[in-house]
Structure 1
Amino acid sequence: MRALCATDLSAASEAAIENETCLDCLGRIGVETIHLVTVVPANVHSGMPGVNFEERRRRALDEYRAVIEAAGFDVETHVVRGTPYRRINGLAEAVHADLSVVGSRGQSPLDNRVVGSTARNLARTTVVPLLVNRIERATDDPEVLREHLFQRLLFATDFSENADRAFDACSYLHHATEEATLVHVRSRKDEGVDTDVDPREQLAEHASTLENWGVETRIEVRHGDPADEILAVEAEVTPSTILVGSKGRSRIRRLLLGSVSEELVAQATGNVFLVPPPRAV
């Protein structure tokens, strides 16, 4: 497997990329090659007086490379120019990455009102599974909030094709997973809808698959707003990562927020692993 790890060379990015436990988790799920990428903003030019961003970033990436190679991975580095989320997506396709990893300092009152962070833009547009690795806020020497990336999973499902695709990721994530909580939220739009299948039975089928892989599981059926209830379960069980499917992108979704997956990326305390639908060719 190939992972694309994006960094802005900040202290937060360093915490995410150089954490030994996080690297070990990536190795456990089958990652062998890591592509390190940093994006130079399009409005920064190498000819600016006293500025050589490309060279400075290459030197910084070489330092990261040494740490990651020492952990047993093959490493390739990339310094590109442009809009971060677009260049990250483009490179993920170019190198045939199996997942992308981006650090995020998480929510703040301002972040919840203003859209623009790389993590939230990637949540809308990612072309491969995306791990949003949560980093401590408001500190000069930040640490990752959940070192064991996939040790405790919270899988949120509405039993859609998108959710089933996200669950398929457990075929490799389970190698680093010990516990899993499976949750389905019945919202108002589900009221009055007849179904022959009890959601607990559907969750139990997923639980059986995980238990066959040696993962201890529990199931939860909640009622209310899906994002709110999933976040409530996260607060109760403190998973390493929330696993959720995305409905993908469209022209209007590039402009509007509101999907459950994007709300989780914006507001979750821990990590979020977002699985998009296959990209149309």
Structure 2
Amino acid sequence: MSGEQVVVGVDGTDGAARAAEWAARRAALWGLPLLLVHGLRWPLYEQVHLHQPVDVAGEEAMRQWARDLLDDVARRCRARGAVDVRAEVVPGDPADVLVRAAEGAAFVVVGHSDGGGVTSVLLGSTAAQVVQACARPVVVVRAGEGGAGGEGAGEEGTGEEGAGEEGAGEGGTPGGAGEARGEGGPVVVGVDGSPIGGRALRFAHEFAERAGVGLLAVHAVADGAVPYRVEEDADLAECARLHPGVRARVEVVPGPPVEVLLAAARTAGLLVVGSHGAGVVRRALFGSVSQSVVDRAACPVAVLPPHAGA
């Protein structure tokens, strides 16, 4: 994975802690340092009712609370196998802090709320802002993905058994990319022949190669859409050349993009989508398709902003 470290936003919520544990396993697997970042925006804590000590009365006390929080999360990450773990409490808006910390990172990780979508104050607006401003991919880890369930699967399974020839195209060789479950499941990526789709495809191949899992590239064909030709997608051919060890297949599936992607990702370990980021409303939601799959997917979702490097 290109990049020098994995960066995680930590805010005191359970979702952020689970995201950090998920990131710790990725960092351990790839031999990358893990950076835990807490953006200290005083007096935001009084507004969001985090689990801070009841006697917190000032900024310095909150700094100490944040340092203790990061120390605890760092211990949990080391227990998940991460060796090089650093933690920083940085004054400023959480999204701005994460974006600055992400420079040169492989990717940024944030958590997802258990109810009602991405956490509304810290990891809702922060996730949306980070996706729009960050030059690196942003992985949103849903509730339950960072804990013990499926532990170690990402390091063991390959997700390649039991597939036939159907759907194999220029993007790679046929494989059972849809067969594995949980963290050992394949990387599923949405492709559409666009530049952002190409960046998502390259990120997905590199992720799959590091994890030792299969890859399924999916193109959704809506009614009246311009036909998508697998053999004409230069990014698929380039990824197959650069990552010959990744067993990949391509599927062209009729239906709305969100539903097609969610169906394909039911057994995935990671879903990768690109955000085109067009328009004020879409910028606020970091893209209608990406927003919908983040809120509904049963696995972590990597969102590549329009300008993301991968």
The answer to whether TM tops 0.5 is yes
Distance 2:129 2:5 in 1: 22
Correspondence 1:199 to 2:230: yes
Q: Which residue of 2 aligns with 1:232?
A: 263
Distance 1:270 1:157 in 2: 18
CA deviation after TM superposition for structure 1 residue 76, in Å: 2.3
Distance 2:242 2:150 in 1: 21
Q: Which residue of 2 aligns with 1:76?
A: 86
Q: Report the secondary structure of 2:298's partner residue.
A: coil
Distance 2:148 2:290 in 1: 21
Q: Which residue of 1 aligns with 2:293?
A: 264
Report percent identity of matched pairs: 25
| 1:232–1:279 CA distance, 2 compared to 1 (3 A) | closer
| 1:159–1:144 CA distance, 2 compared to 1 (3 A) | farther
Q: How many residues get paired?
A: 260
Distance 1:12 1:67 in 2: 14
Gaps of 5+ in 1: none
Q: Report the secondary structure of 1:212's partner residue.
A: coil
CA deviation after TM superposition for structure 1 residue 246, in Å: 2.3
Q: Which residue of 2 aligns with 1:119?
A: 127
Distance 2:263 2:270 in 1: 14
| 1:251–1:207 CA distance, 2 compared to 1 (3 A) | closer
Q: Which residue of 1 aligns with 2:136?
A: 128
Richer in strand (by share): 1
Distance 2:295 2:273 in 1: 13
| 1:222–1:43 CA distance, 2 compared to 1 (3 A) | same
Distance 2:188 2:78 in 1: 30
RMSD: 3.6
- TM-score, length-scaled by structure 2: 0.69
Q: Report the secondary structure of 2:265's partner residue.
A: helix
Question: Can you list the C-alpha shifts for 1:215-254, whole angstroms capped at 9, x where unaligned?
Answer: 333332112211121112223xx10110122224765543
| 1:133–1:44 CA distance, 2 compared to 1 (3 A) | closer
Please list, as runs of the form range in 1=range in 2, the aligned pairs for 1:48-59 lying within 5 A after superposition: 50-51=55-56, 52-59=61-68
Correspondence 1:143 to 2:147: yes
Please list, as runs of the form range in 1=range in 2, the aligned pairs for 1:1-281 lying within 5 A after superposition: 1-18=4-21, 23-28=24-29, 30-44=30-44, 50-51=55-56, 52-68=61-77, 71-93=81-103, 96-105=104-113, 108=115, 110-111=116-117, 116-136=124-144, 143=147, 147=151, 148=154, 149=183, 151-170=185-204, 172-173=206-207, 174-190=209-225, 193=226, 198-199=229-230, 202=233, 205=237, 208-209=240-241, 212-213=244-245, 215-235=246-266, 238-248=267-277, 253-255=282-284, 258-278=287-307
| 1:217–1:249 CA distance, 2 compared to 1 (3 A) | same
Question: Can you list the C-alpha shifts for 1:87-114, whole angstroms capped at 9, x where unaligned?
Answer: 2223323xx32210112135x4x439x7
**Larger RCO, structure (CA 8 Å, separation 6 or more):** 1
Is the Cα–Cα contact under 8 Å of residues 183 and 220 in structure 1 kept in the other structure? yes
Q: Please tell me the residue identity of whatever aligns with 2:275.
A: S
Question: Can you list the C-alpha shifts for 1:128-168, whole angstroms capped at 9, x where unaligned?
Answer: 1111112239xxxx837665357511111111111111122
Distance 1:72 1:258 in 2: 32
Q: Report the secondary structure of 1:188's partner residue.
A: coil
